[in-house]
Structure 1
Amino acid sequence: MESATKHSGILDLPGEVLLMIFEEFKNFYQDPNMRNTRIYKNRNIVNVRLTCKKFCSVSSHLLLDSVNVEINLRSVQRFQDISKHPLIARGVRSIRILLHYHSGSLAENLSTYGIHQAQRIRDIVRALESIINRDYELYTEISLNRMREECHQGLKIAEAWQHLGQSNDEGLFERMARSGYDIYRSLYEEQELLREQRRFSRHVAEGIARMSGVRQLEFYDIPESRYEYTSISDLMEHDKIMNMLVSPLSWKEGDDYRPASPPCEIVFDLPLALRELRVQLTSLRIAAALYRPEINVPSQERSADLTAAMQSLRTFTYACNSIHRRPPWTLTYHYILAALNNSNIEEIYINYFSVTMECLFDQMIPRRDWPSLKKVELRYCYFHTGCLSRFLNGCNPAVFKYLGLHSMTWSGGADVLGILKSSCLDHFFIRYDAMGQESLVLNNEQPRWLVEKESNGFRFRRQPNIYSVARGTF
């Protein structure tokens, strides 16, 4: 006679319950460096998938919520494989395009390539020498001597690469650099093959179309200091020195090696390719400076197509990571205008770093009504107070609740604080160095506003018993 009580195991739990467990397990991780969080979270799900078939089928879509794509054949093939996986593809929510690139001026000239790599080594040496001079009291004499020896060795490597190809009598480091150069050239050829006839954009768009959950697209320059080295000793290892020799350039780094060939066109082509496949994205983030002189200003027809491709956006972010030192900035204007010229946009984040005195609201933010706009954050931009008033008047008072101004400058003579307080806003933030004086904020304060001083500015909240019910409460 079988026992009346049968013990149940974890495999007897419904898939919905297992999924809840695995979601918690994915978020339970210990990252000692706080820099590899994504790797640690993925590792947990990798281990779950290896346990058994049931665990694998239930947890696979948790493995990747974001996928990086680089402009090389290996990365594109990996992305295609992920997009075709029946389980993993379902969980992907965001695609990040890494826009670092291999420069034609380096790939086509061994001497230029050698000079560039020598400069990279010298930059590391200078950083280490700065540490020695600044913090020498923190190190023992033995450590300081070792660091000085590393600097000396680094300069020897730089000297060998500085004159690459100019002598028939080549040593170890010259031969290593030649090997790196051959690989660099092959990666450049792959990149250019993918850039021809929009191949890269079409491949990525087709992959995204197969991923029903993808709603966010990001364009990034080199992220998370991926190719930076903080110690010469790192470069004493063959694998690490080869990694540096074949690594791509950031857009900023590539400015020093013209004629450069940054893949600017992908930022324009991919949204258009997605529109052709009827893929609707709700979030777009640009973390690369679009002020490139290499690309012509888009035609009126192309601008109209780009605007049409952006109509499903709810969130737009432009986070330029460098100061715009030279023209043209027209590409930036065209792109942001296209992204924001839709009635569905809900959140806008612009971090511009421009040295020009051109009004953000006049140049990049369309003159239109904003029925769905909820939140705007602006950093390091210039604006005219009259344009700010016009923008606020076009917002829906029942929806638009927050405006953040960080390190902004303006002209027009009007009281910015007064403009903001008389608007539909219930909540706004001003970094006080943008206002010029803290007293400007405090002396103009009125009882109907709560002021919260923070480390870098002031946060204003409208008193709940003052404003109308239509605006809601905090």
Structure 2
Amino acid sequence: MSSHDDGSSIVPSQLDSLYQHLRDLEPVRKHAIGQMLAAIAQRTQLEARLQQLKTLDSSNVNTNEHPPEKPALQLTELKSKVDLWSFRKQELDDRQSALRLEINILARPTLRHLELQDMADEILFRIFGYVNTWSPCDHLGIESEHATHLSSIKSLRLTCWRFCNASSHLLIPVVQVDMRQASLERLANISSHPTISKGVRVIRVILQHYNKFFAEDLQAFIGYQTATLDRDNASCAARTAHYSQLYGVPEDELLDAIAKVDKIVSIWATLNSADQADEHVMIYKSVLDRAYQEYAFLFQQQEKLRADGTFVQSIAAAFRRMPTVQSLELCDTHLERGRLRWTHIELANDPEALRCSIVQPMHWAMTTFQNLELPLGDVLVQMPGAILEAGGMFTTLEIQVPGLQYCSILPSTASNLQSATASIQRLKSFNFRSREFMHPDVESMIEPTQLQDLEVFTCALHTNSLENISLEFHYSWRFHYLPRLPTFSLGPLISIRSWQNLKTFKCVGMPLHLTELESFVDNLTVGIDEVKFHSLYLLTGSWAAALDIMRKSVAKRTSLEDPYGAECASMEREKSMAIFDYRAAGSQYSPADQYIMRLTDCNPIRDGNDEEVEN
């Protein structure tokens, strides 16, 4: 037998002996620990008894009586016993550590060298999870950080099949789908993929639409696209420095592109009288013709998908195939589409880019701005019920439209309401965000007569299971060029009920009365973590009294920032910020929040004014 063979046979026998010694040591160690704990318990009881005797002795009139000496002697013996067994335990721990070290030294050369791929799939999932930076946002938007690290996930998938399978679920956390056949096919492919589908958490439904008026009238289509391109070109010309930095090009190059786009606008505006043999006229006439044909085709496709229910049913089927999806987001505009996908340089120099930029669906506010037929909301109303009927479920519902008034035009039949209500009984988060469309010719504020038509909106708020609510309304009173002030209250949306499971509540831009604010605060239940108010408009009452009411909140934290109306209507901006803005106050909390959170007894409005202003 060779020396190598002798050594290889000796090591296992030595390891067996060491492991056996380690096993034999364990019950001895446990016995020592048990004896030590028993001695500690006896010592504690005896100390309590001696303390009781001292207490009785101090109340005894005869001060010559002393506690008996026997318990004190027993206490000394128990302390020695605890020290003895503690020392014994430490000896055994040291011996155990020495054995393990010896085992490690002997066993290490015989162990196989482990690599990353030797790890279990569960561990790889956790490791690769740190690459993914996406997390659910408190508003509808583009996950820019996730997009930044998307290349890392793609690189992991290209490393090997093992890494591909362990990281593919991180690839697409959000699926956006719109009313095009190609978009539905992409959703079907993702939801049917055995790995990628497991990582989808959100389905975002884009309700932009191709308009019938432009799809059936070539001249109207040309007129609209000409006016839109001219407006965008004028905006770029007015802010050349900004767009030059945005596009990363010199201003001279941008000015040249603006001149070329201006020429395109002129060609389109005079298309009927232009020289049809001119090369530029032919090129840009062809751009319009091909764009119109595609727009009309996409409109017909959209109407078919909507009429036969394919669009709604395809999304419902995707929810059924992907039980990991937690959130349904309904949005009137494609946040990643539009003319910003193409720079002004591309529009000026690439006819194909120009064609693609004008074959774009319209968002709801632009439809109103063009005085066209209002967008059809039947898809938005039918979606939740169809998902439930298909066997799917979601716990978060997010809606983003130009304003609350668009919820009032949704077709709220009894059947739709019943279906929508049933589908959201397990809803945990409801977020509504009014997307600002700042144009002086578009009224974005809801009228009082429309409040009664908000059944589709309010049925989501009346869900008992809600834990998180975020309501962000469009508020034009903060903008000087749109100074329309509210004349009615949205307070009834939040003041007429309570939510037993509510954890967080956020409200932005709501006009309400002081009594409605008080009702809301009174209805809050113990256990809520945070209540945030931002840019509220107080129609009646005073903000000094409102702070007193908020101070009664049972939430762990209640905050108020940038309020309007009442005293704030005549308050200088600097003073308002000093009271309600923690940044201006130079503290972690603003003076108003400090008062609300009971960190101070000073009401910054009442105690800072000689006379409280009442409206």
TM-score (norm: length of structure 2):
0.66
- In the TM superposition, 1:278-297 aligns within 5 A as 278-289=391-402, 291-292=405-406, 295=409, 297=411
Equivalents in 1 of 2:355, 2:579: separation in Å? 60
Quote the residue 1:13 is aligned against.
119
Equivalents in 1 of 2:243, 2:310: separation in Å? 53
Shift of 1:253: 1.8
Equivalents in 1 of 2:400, 2:226: separation in Å? 28
Shift of 1:345: 0.9
Equivalents in 2 of 1:166, 1:331: separation in Å? 52
Q: Which amino acid aligns with 2:435?
A: N
Equivalents in 1 of 2:496, 2:265: separation in Å? 54
**Deviations, residues 406-451 of structure 1 (Å, cap 9, x unaligned):** 111123325111111123233222124436148689999xxxxxx9
8 Å contact kept, 2:258–2:344: yes
**2:499 matches 1:370:** yes
Quote the residue 2:455 is aligned against.
334
**2:413 matches 1:299:** yes
Query: Could you tell me the percent identity over the aligned residues?
Result: 21
3-state secondary structure, aligned to 1:360: coil
Structure showing greater relative contact order (alpha-carbon pairs closer than 8 Å, 6 or more residues apart): 1
Quote the residue 1:22 is aligned against.
128
8 Å contact kept, 2:244–2:251: no
Quote the residue 2:557 is aligned against.
427
**Deviations, residues 120-146 of structure 1 (Å, cap 9, x unaligned):** 2212221222124x78999xxx95554
- In the TM superposition, 1:307-322 aligns within 5 A as 307-322=421-436
8 Å contact kept, 1:287–1:318: yes
Equivalents in 2 of 1:41, 1:443: separation in Å? 40
Cα RMSD between the aligned structures? 3.5
Distance 1:65 1:137, change over 3 A: closer
**2:369 matches 1:256:** yes
Quote the residue 1:174 is aligned against.
285
**2:303 matches 1:192:** yes
Shift of 1:166: 6.9
Equivalents in 1 of 2:445, 2:345: separation in Å? 35
Q: Which amino acid aligns with 2:444?
A: H
Equivalents in 1 of 2:452, 2:290: separation in Å? 38
Quote the residue 1:246 is aligned against.
359
Equivalents in 1 of 2:408, 2:500: separation in Å? 36
Q: Does 415-424 or 348-357 show the bigger shift?
A: 348-357
Distance 1:187 1:136, change over 3 A: closer
Equivalents in 2 of 1:137, 1:313: separation in Å? 46
Equivalents in 2 of 1:247, 1:440: separation in Å? 43
Shift of 1:164: 4.9
Shift of 1:154: 1.2
Quote the residue 2:464 is aligned against.
343
Q: Which amino acid aligns with 2:531?
A: L
**2:393 matches 1:266:** no
**Deviations, residues 73-102 of structure 1 (Å, cap 9, x unaligned):** 001011011111121111111111112221
Shift of 1:292: 3.6
Identify the match of residue 412 of structure 1 among 507, 524, 540. Answer: 540
**2:521 matches 1:392:** yes
8 Å contact kept, 2:178–2:205: yes
Compare CA radii of gyration and give the structure with the larger one.
2
Equivalents in 1 of 2:314, 2:421: separation in Å? 22
Equivalents in 2 of 1:283, 1:359: separation in Å? 27
Quote the residue 1:471 is aligned against.
none
Equivalents in 1 of 2:222, 2:284: separation in Å? 11
Shift of 1:464: 8.4
**2:360 matches 1:360:** no
Equivalents in 2 of 1:405, 1:247: separation in Å? 37
Q: Does 339-348 or 457-466 show the bigger shift?
A: 457-466
Shift of 1:463: 5.0
3-state secondary structure, aligned to 2:392: coil
Residue correspondences, number: 449
8 Å contact kept, 2:244–2:254: no
Equivalents in 1 of 2:311, 2:466: separation in Å? 28
Equivalents in 1 of 2:501, 2:391: separation in Å? 23
**Deviations, residues 345-380 of structure 1 (Å, cap 9, x unaligned):** 111111112564332221x33722321112211111
Quote the residue 1:382 is aligned against.
511
Equivalents in 2 of 1:305, 1:165: separation in Å? 52
Shift of 1:301: 4.4
Structure 2 segments unaligned to the other structure (5+ residues)? 9-108, 135-141, 437-442, 476-484, 602-615
Identify the match of residue 213 of structure 1 among 309, 324, 339. Answer: 324
**2:593 matches 1:459:** yes
Distance 1:457 1:66, change over 3 A: farther
TM-score (norm: length of structure 1):
0.84
Structure 1 segments unaligned to the other structure (5+ residues)? 29-33, 445-450, 467-474
Distance 1:390 1:210, change over 3 A: same
**Deviations, residues 145-200 of structure 1 (Å, cap 9, x unaligned):** 54433222212211222355677825211111111111111111111111114321
8 Å contact kept, 2:384–2:420: yes
Higher strand residue share: 1
8 Å contact kept, 1:105–1:257: no
Higher helix residue share: 2
Equivalents in 1 of 2:319, 2:558: separation in Å? 37
